[in-house]
Structure 1
C-alpha cells in the first residue's frame, strides 16, 4: 500500500490507541450546574455494573446530604478516607494509595475539579485520576461545565462568578466516554425549591444569583456544545485510527482555502458566515505552500498573514499545509479531519489558468467525494490589481544567463554544423536549456526552451534563416524538440526549486536547533532574553528587543544588535501586547502607526514577556515570519523555564530555611529547656532550703548549676556559630599557628567534662606550622571532643593525635563508643543530626559536628568520619588542614 494512501491508518493515531490500551478508561458524567444529578446517575450506573458482576469500588462520593443519593451507597464497597492534618485541622480526603493497592475494575471518584487538602500527593483530584488511569484502573467521575479552564472567563461573564477550581480541557479531551446529564433550567430550579440541591436558605440565595434561568440556559448550551465537541474529536480519532476515509457528516467541519491574492480576507469572512449558518461549526483557514514553486512575493505573504490574523480574531483555527499538488494535499487533509465543507475563491485572473492548466475549483469538484465545495467569486470592481513586480536585476539574471547559454549553444552548433555532416545539433540546445533550469529555475528554463526552439528552426533546419518548416519530418522533429526542451527544462527548474526549498527548511531547522541549544545553555532570565533578541534579530535581519515584566509594568531588558530606545507610542503597543496577549504595532490593527511590531511571549502556563521587531525596508517573507514566530515560541518557553527554575531555587531555599527553623525550635524546646529547668530547680532549692541542707548537698547543687549553665552556654554558642555560617558572616583571622598548641588548649577546655574517661595525646616532636584561625580550629577540636565524650562509655579512652604528610597537617580524634552506622556516615555532619538513642543528659543539639564542618570548610580543609575502627565499635574523626608550602619527602 502506498505510504500516502489516505486509507492507511494514521501512525500517530495507532500509537495513541496503543498507549490508551495500557491505561484505564475514563468516563465523565458532565452537567451544566450542581444539582442536575451527575453523582446520582453515576451511582445508578455503578449499581447496574455491580449487579452484572463487575468489581466496583466507591473511592470518594460527595452526597451533600441528599437522601436519594445516599440511598444508592447502601450495599456498595466504599473506600475509607484518609485523614490529613494541616494547621491543627483534620480533613478527610480520598486515599489514592489504598485505591492503587485495592485496584478495582471500576473506581468512582466524584468531583473531578476538586482541590485536594494541603499535604496530599497531588494538588488537584484530576491529577489523582491521571495516576489511577496510568495504573490501569477504570475511573468514573463527575464534572460541571463551568469548571473547564477554557470557559472560566465565559462563565464569569455569564454568571458573575469566577471559578477557582478548574480542570484543563486536555484532561476532559482524554476521556474515553462522556455522558451528559441534562435537565431543563425550570426543572433544576424546582428541585432547588424542594430542597433537593441546597438547604432552603442557601437555595433561595442561589436561585436569585447563580441559578437564574438565563444563566442556566447559557450553561446548558455550553455543556451541550462541549459534549458534542468531545464526541466529534473521538469520531475523528477513531477514523484516523481505523484508516476510514471521510467525510462522515455526523457534524459539519469547514475548511477555507486561501492564497496570497486579494480574496484572502473575503474567503475568511465567508467561512465565518458559513460557520454561523451551520450552528457555529468548527472552521479552519489554510494555505497550501507548493514545495515545487518559489516562495510567494512579499505582498502575498502579507495578505496571508492578515488572513490568518483575521481568522483567529473571528474564532477560526489556522493551519499551514505543504505539498506538491494543492488538490491532493487539501483532499488528504479533508479526509483525515472529517471536513464536510470546503470554501475556495475564483478570481477573474484565474480564467487564463482554466485555459492553460487545470482549474482549482474544477479539480476539487472532480476529487471531492461527500464534500461540499463552495466557490466564492470576486466582483470585478472590487478586485485589487496585483502591483507589478519591481524590475530588480536578480529577477532578470536567470533569463540573461539562459540567453547566454543559448548563444553559446548556437555558436557550438554552428561550428559543428560547418565541420561535420549530419550532426544532431538539438542535443546541444537541450543541454543549454537544462543548464538554465538547474541554475536559475523553472521560468528561465521555459524561456530558454522557447528561444532554443526558434533559433534551431531558423538557423539549422531547411529552409535556413526562416521560421518556415520545410518538411513534415522537420516539423515533427521540431515539435518533439520543443516538447522535450520544455519538459526537461521545467523538470530541472522544479528540481532546483525543491532543492532550494529543502535548503531553506533545513536552514530554518538548523537555526531553531541552534536557538534551542542556546536557550538551554542560558542561565537565568536575562541570559535567555539576550539570546532571544539575538536570534530574532539574526532571523529577521533587523532590530529586535525583548521586554520583561518588572512588577506590574514591562521594561526593556535586551536588544540586538543594540538596545534601541522606544518612544511613547511604541511602549504603548508593547504594553498592549503584554496586557491583552495580542500582536500590536506595525502591520496590525492596534497602534499600526508604530514602526515596531510586538508579540506577546506566552509560555505554557503564563505570559513571560514581550518581543519587538523593528519594521524594515521590506516586510518579512513567509519563511522568515514562520521562523521568527517559532523562535518567539521557543524563547517564551525558555523564559518560563528559567523563571520556574528561579522559583524552584527560591522554594528550595525557603524549604531548607523552614526545615532549619523547625529543627532549631525542636532543639531549643528540648535541649535548652532541660538545663534551664535544672538551674531553676537547683537555685530555687538553695534559696528555699539552703540553711536546712547539708554542705555536700549544697555543693552538689552549686556544681549542677555551674555545669548546666556551661551546657547552656555551649548551646547558645553553637547556635550563634551556626547562624554565622548560614548567614555568611564568618570572618577569618589567620596567623601562623602550631596545631599542637591548639589541641592542648582544646583538651584543657573539655577536661572537666571528661569524667572518668582518659584523654591520650600523641603529638610528634616537630610539626610544620600552618596558616589558620586558631580560635576557629580550637572550637572545631572542642566540638569533636565533646561529641566523642557524649558517645563514649564512662571509663573509655579517647585518643587525640596529630601528624603530617607532604601537603597537609592531619588531626585524628578516636573514641571507643558504639560507633556510627555505615548508613549515617555521610549525614553525620548534617545540622541537628544526632544518634537515634541518646547517650546521656549531656548530649547536645546536634550542631557540634555540623559547625565543625562549616569551620573547616572556611579554613580550606577537610573533615571526615570513619566507623567502626576496633571490633565493630569506635569512631575516628579526621581533620586535614593544608600547608602553605609542601614539605619534601626527605624532611618528613
Structure 2
C-alpha cells in the first residue's frame, strides 16, 4: 500500500536561484533534437540573447554543423585516458564564461573516467545551480524507469541513463516528433547514419513497431511531466484542486460485498479515460469498532485485485470519512471518485446522511460516480455481546453504584439537604470512563433505580413521584451516553495507536536484526522467527539451493517434519509462479500452510510459509506479517549480493594472481629455460670444437639458470600452498641459530664476492616452530638481500631475545627501500626495480616469507634505511612458549 504523502514542491525562492532547464525530448536518435535546439538558439541569439554552445554533437551532419556558424562554441577540455586524449565538456570554462543560455547536447552522455562528474546530466545540474539557463537533448529510451520497458520493446539495453527526477526538474519540455516512416526515410537518405549502418539499424532498432512504441512513450512522459508541473504551479499559487488537466480516479471500498465490483469499475474507467492513473482506497476510522474478519478479508481481497489490475492501493486514516476523502482528493488532484451505494435505510436517505449524499454535498471540482448494488442484501445476524466480550465492566459498574449507595446513606444520615444525585453521577462517570458506553448505561439505570427506591419520595418504592425525578433519570442516561461514547472513542484510539506503535517497533526490530544478518541462512532464520512472532504461529522460509527449493529456516525449530509432498508442491508453485498458494488461496487450498513469494528488488528471493488460519485477512497482524516478508525479501537479496560480492572479490583476487602468475611464467620462467636450452644445444652441436673454458662457462650457465628456474617453481608452489591454505605445519622445539646456519649454507654459493657475518648469543631460548618453513622463509629473505646488495658488501645475520619472543635480524648494505614502499614490500609480485627488470625474480620471495612466518604465529617487518641512507633490515619475531623473567635476560 502506498502512503498518503504529497510530492515535494520547490519553493519560488529556490527556483529563482536556479537556472531554467529546457529539454528537447525525442523518441530516438535522428528525429532532429540537436538541429531544433540549434535553430531555437540562433533565434534567441538574433533577439540579442547571450547564447553559448557548450557541447553540440553533430555526428558529421552538414545541415546541423551549418547551424553552429555565428554561435560561440566553447572549446572542449582534454582528458587523458588509457594513452588517449579525450575531449569532454569544459564545465569550468562554462562557469567562467557564465552566459545567459548554455547549450549542452546529449543529456544522458557518460563522461570519461577522471571527469568531475560521471554523467553529463550532473554537469548540467552544477551549471543550473550556478544560475545559468541550459538547453539539452534527450532520447526517451535513456530514462532510468523505462530501461526495462525499452529492453522488452527493442531488445537493446541502454548503457546510459538519466534518473527520472532529473527530467522532472525540467522547466520546459519540447517534444521533437516525426513519424516513424519519415525517420526511416531520413535514414535511407543517409541523414542519420552512413548507408551501411543505416541498413543494419533499420532492420533492428529502427523497426516501425519499435519506433511507434518509443514515440508513444515520449509523448506520454512529456504529458506526465507537464501535468506534474501544472500541479506544482497551482499549489504554489495556493489554488485548491482538483484541476482537470489530467484524469485521476479514486475508488473507495469498504468491507461490504461491493468492494471487488468497485475495483473492476475503476479499472474500466481508467481504460475509457486513456489509461488514467487510478487508486483504490479504504478509510480506516481509529475511533470505530474493530472490523469483522469478513469485512477485513474483503478489503484485503480488493487491494490484491487492484494491484493485479495495475492500480495503486492506499489506506487513509480519519474519523470523518468525507473530510478525509476530500482532503486526499484535493492534495492528489483526484478528478473522479467512485463509491458504492448499498441499501441505506429510508431515514438515512431522508436525512441525507448516506456517504454518497455527503460526498455530493462536499465535492468541489471532482465528479462522483455512484455504483449501486442490485443484489439481495446478506442476512445480518446480530448478537448482543457485553462490551469487550465480558461481564466484568457491568459488574464493576454496578459495584460503583453500590459504593455510591453506601456513601449516600452515610451522607443522608449525617447531613441535611445533601444532593445525593451527584454521588450517583460520579459512579456513572467512573463506569463510562473505565469500561465504555454499555456498562455506563447499565450503571445509570441501576443508580436511578436505587436512588429512586432509597432516597426519593415515596421512599422504598420504585414509583416516580415528580417530574424532577424523571429529569434525574434523563440526566443519568445522558451522562452515561456522553461519557461512555467519549471513553470508548479514546480507548479505541489508544488501542489503535498502541497497535501501530507495536507494529512499527516490531518492524524496526526486524529491520535491525535483518540488517545485521551476514548471510542468507542467518537472514532466513531471523525472518522466520520474526514472522512467527508477528503471526503467533509457525513460519517457514524456503530458498533455492542448487536449483531446488529447500527449507532453510523454521520457527519454532523442528517444523520440517510437517513438510509433506503436498506442502512442498504448494511452495514450489509459489516459487515458480510468484503467486500465493496453500490454505486460503485458489491453489492447493487444502494444505495446512499458506505460502507467499519473497519478492526482492532484483527478483524472487525465496518463499515464506505461515501456518494455516493464523492470520485473518486484512487484519493488522496480516499487514505486519506482509511488511516483514517484504523486508525479509530485500534482506535475503542483500545477503545474497554480499555473498556474491565476496565471491566476486575472491575471483577478482584470484584472477589478479593468475594474471600476474601468467605474466611471471611468460618471462621469468621462459628466460632461464631459453638459456638452459641454448647452452645445452651449443654443447651438443659444437662441444668438441669448444675450448674447455667456454664449455665450463656454458655448464655454469646451465646450472645457474636451472637453479634459478628451481627457485621460481618453488616460489610458485609455495605461494599456491599459501593461497589455497594447504600448509602442513609440523611444529617442534627449534633453535633458530641452527635454522639460520642451515639457511646461510643453502645460499652460500650465491654470495660470490659478498660477505656474511653471524652474531648469535651463546645461549638462546628455543621456540615452537616448523624448522622447514622457517628455513625456507629465511632463504627467501637472504636471496632477496643477495640480489639487492652490491658486490663486496656485507650481509649480517643476528639473533637475540627479549622477554616474550626470539628475534631474527637480517641486514644488508643495498640501496634500501623507499619509505613509501615499506608497507607493501611483502606484497605478491612486488619488485623494487622497474617492471622491465626481470633479473630480480618474480617478486614472491618476501610474500612467501611473510606467509610462512605468520603461519608460525610470528611477525615480520622491514626497516630502511639503516645507516648513511642505505641498507635494509628484516626482522622476524617468534613468540616464546613461556615468557622469560627480566632478571634472566
TM-score by length of 2: 0.86
Residues 56, 77 of structure 1: 8 Å contact kept: yes
Indicate how the Cα distance of structure 1 residues 207 and 666 shifts in structure 2: closer, same or farther if over 3 A, else same.
closer
- Tell me: CA distance 1:506–1:747, structure 2 relative to 1, closer, same or farther (3 Å): same
Partners of 2:548 and 2:667 in 1: CA distance: 49
Kindly state the Cα deviation for residue 853 of structure 1 after the two structures are TM-superposed.
Answer: 0.6
Structure 1: tracts of 5 or more residues without a match: 1-5
State the distance in 1 between where 2:445 and 2:41 align: 78
1:527: how far off?
1.1
Q: Is it true that 1:596 corresponds to 2:587 in the alignment? A: no
Q: 1:641 aligns with which of 625, 628, 638?
A: 638
Contact 1:295 1:622 in 2 (8 A): no
Alpha-carbon distance between aligned partners in 2 of 1:20 and 1:816, rounded to the nearest angstrom: 69
Q: Does 1:128 align with 2:119?
A: yes
What per-residue deviation string (whole Å, max 9, x for no partner) do you get for residues 325-347 of structure 1? 32332222222211122222332
State the match for 1:628 in structure 2. 625
Aligned to 2:777: 780
Structure 1 Cα separation of the partners of residues 165 and 698 of structure 2: 71
* 1:546-591 Cα deviation digits (max 9, x unpaired): 1212355433322222236445554444344334434344444555
Q: SS of the residue aligned with 1:554?
A: strand
Aligned to 1:3: none
Aligned residue for 1:395? Answer: 389
> Does 1:605 find its partner at 2:596?
no
Cα 1:861–1:261 change in 2 (3 A) is same
Structure 1 618/745 Cα, relative in aligned 2: closer, same or farther at 3 Å?
closer
* Cα offsets for 1:821-869 (capped at 9, x unmatched): 2222211111011214589875222111100010011111111122233
Are the structure 2 counterparts of residues 358 and 393 from structure 1 closer, same or farther at C-alpha, using a change threshold of 3 Å? closer
Distance 2:449 2:140 in 1: 73
CA contact (8 A) 2:535 2:615 kept: no
Equivalent residue number for residue 717 of structure 1? 714
Q: Rate the CA distance shift 1:623–1:870 in 2: closer, same or farther, 3 A.
A: same
SS at 1:719 equivalent = helix
Deviation at residue 438 of structure 1 after TM alignment: 4.0
- Match among 389, 398, 408 for residue 402 of structure 2: 408
1:673 Cα deviation after fit = 3.6
Are positions 1:383 and 2:367 aligned together? no
Q: Distance in 2 between matches of 1:309 and 1:555?
A: 28
- Segments of 5+ residues of structure 2 without an aligned counterpart are none
| 2: CA distance, partners of 1:675 / 1:199 | 54
Residue 557 of structure 1 corresponds to: 552
Change over 3 Å in CA distance of 1:474–1:438 after alignment to 2: closer
Is the CA contact (8 Å cut-off) linking 1:189 and 1:211 kept in structure 2? yes
Which residue is equivalent to 2:661?
664
Give the structure 2 partner of residue 859 of structure 1.
856
Q: 1:715 to 1:183 in 2, by over 3 A?
A: same
Flag the 1:408–1:795 CA change in 2: closer, same or farther, 3 A.
Answer: farther
Question: Would the alpha carbon gap of residues 748 and 204 (structure 1) be closer, same or farther in structure 2, given more than 3 Å must change?
Answer: closer
In 1: Cα distance, 2:17 partner to 2:563 partner: 55
The alpha carbon displacement at 1:660 in A equals 1.2
Partner of 1:826: 823
Is the CA contact (8 Å cut-off) linking 1:734 and 1:772 kept in structure 2? yes
**Aligned mates of 2:179, 2:702 — CA distance in 1:** 81
Cα deviation digits, residues 742-788 of structure 1 (max 9, x gap) = 10111112222223322221111111222221111111111111222
Q: CA deviation digits over 1:331-384, x for unaligned, max 9? A: 2222221112222233224666678995433443343322233333333x4333
Matched-pair contact (CA < 8 Å) for 2:141–2:158: no
1:497 and 2:497 equivalent?
no
- CA displacement, residues 253-299 of structure 1 (integer Å, 9 cap, x when unaligned): 12222222222223223322333333322111111222223432211
- Residue 318 of structure 2 corresponds to residue 323 of structure 1: yes
Q: 1:434 to 1:670 in 2, by over 3 A?
A: farther
Contact 1:792-1:815 at 8 Å conserved across structures: yes
Q: Mark the CA change 1:384 to 1:522 in structure 2 (over 3 Å): closer, same or farther.
A: same
CA distance in 2, matches of 1:298, 1:442: 23
CA shift for structure 1 position 131: 3.9
Paired residues of 1:449 and 1:489 also in contact (CA < 8 A):
no
Structure 1 vs Structure 2 CA RMSD: 4.0
TM-aligned CA deviation for residue 696 of structure 1: 4.2
Distance 1:820 1:882 in 2: 27
Which residue matches 1:533?
528
Alignment of 1:346-361 (within 5 A): 346-349=341-344, 359-361=354-356
Where does 1:35-184 land on structure 2 (aligned, <5 Å)?
35-45=30-40, 52-58=49-55, 61=57, 63=59, 66-72=61-67, 76-77=73-74, 79=76, 95=88, 106=102, 108-110=104-106, 112=108, 128-129=119-120, 131-133=122-124, 135-136=126-127, 142-145=137-140, 161=155, 167=161, 170=164, 174-176=168-170, 177-184=172-179
Q: How many residues align?
A: 870
What whole-Å deviation, never above 9, does each CA across 1:790-812 have from its counterpart, x for those lacking one?
22232322221111223211111
Q: Distance in 2 between matches of 1:398 and 1:224?
A: 66
Contact (CA 8 Å) 2:432, 2:480: kept in 1 or not?
no
Deviations 1:123-167 (A, max 9, x none): xx997245435645577655554566666776688x675656585
SS in 2 for 1:370: coil
Displacement of 1:210: 7.0
1:204-250 deviation digits (Å, cap 9, x = unpaired): 78778876766655554443223222322333445556654322221
C-alpha separation in 2, matches of 1:130 and 1:384: 60
1:30 to 16, 22, 25: 25
CA distance in 2, matches of 1:130, 1:246: 33
Query: C-alpha separation between the residues in 1 aligned to 2:160 and 2:438?
Result: 57
1:891 aligns with 2:888: yes
Q: Judging changes above 3 Å, is the alpha-carbon distance between structure 1 residues 784 and 165 closer, same or farther for their aligned structure 2 residues? A: closer
**Per-residue deviation at 1:718?**
0.9
- Are the counterparts in 1 of residues 859 and 878 from structure 2 also a CA contact under 8 Å? yes
Contact 1:438 1:496 in 2 (8 A): no
Question: 1: CA distance between counterparts of 2:529 and 2:439?
Answer: 37
Distance 1:728 1:616, change over 3 A: same
Counterpart secondary structure, 2:560: coil
Q: Measure how far apart 1:429 and its partner are.
A: 3.7
Which runs of structure 2 are paired with 1:258-269 in the superposition (5 Å)?
258-269=253-264
Using the alignment, how far apart are the partners of 1:368 and 1:240 within structure 2? 19
Q: Hey, what's the Cα distance between the residues in 2 that align with 1:132 and 1:147?
A: 17
Q: 1:195-274 to 2 correspondence within 5 Å?
A: 196-197=191-192, 217-238=212-233, 244-274=239-269
Q: Distance in 2 between matches of 1:243 and 1:463?
A: 68
Within 5 Å, give how 1:404-443 maps onto structure 2. 404-405=398-399, 407-409=401-403, 411-412=405-406, 414-416=408-410, 418-419=412-413, 420-441=415-436
Q: 1:597 to 1:145 in 2, by over 3 A?
A: farther
> Which SS does the other structure have where 1:344 is aligned?
strand
What is the CA deviation profile of residues 60-104 of structure 1, one whole-angstrom value per residue up to 9, with x for unaligned ones?
x374x654345445664474787977xxxx9998857x6578668
Q: Would you say the 8 A contact 1:434–1:492 is kept in 2?
A: no
Among 758, 761, 771, which residue is 2:755 paired with?
758
Matched, 1:296 2:291: yes
- 1:634 Cα deviation from its structure 2 partner: 0.9
Cα 1:161–1:857, aligned 2, differ >3 Å: closer, same or farther?
A: closer
| Cα pair 2:789 2:812 within 8 Å, conserved | yes
Q: C-alpha distance in 1, partners of 2:750/2:550?
A: 63
Aligned partner of 1:13 in structure 2 is 8
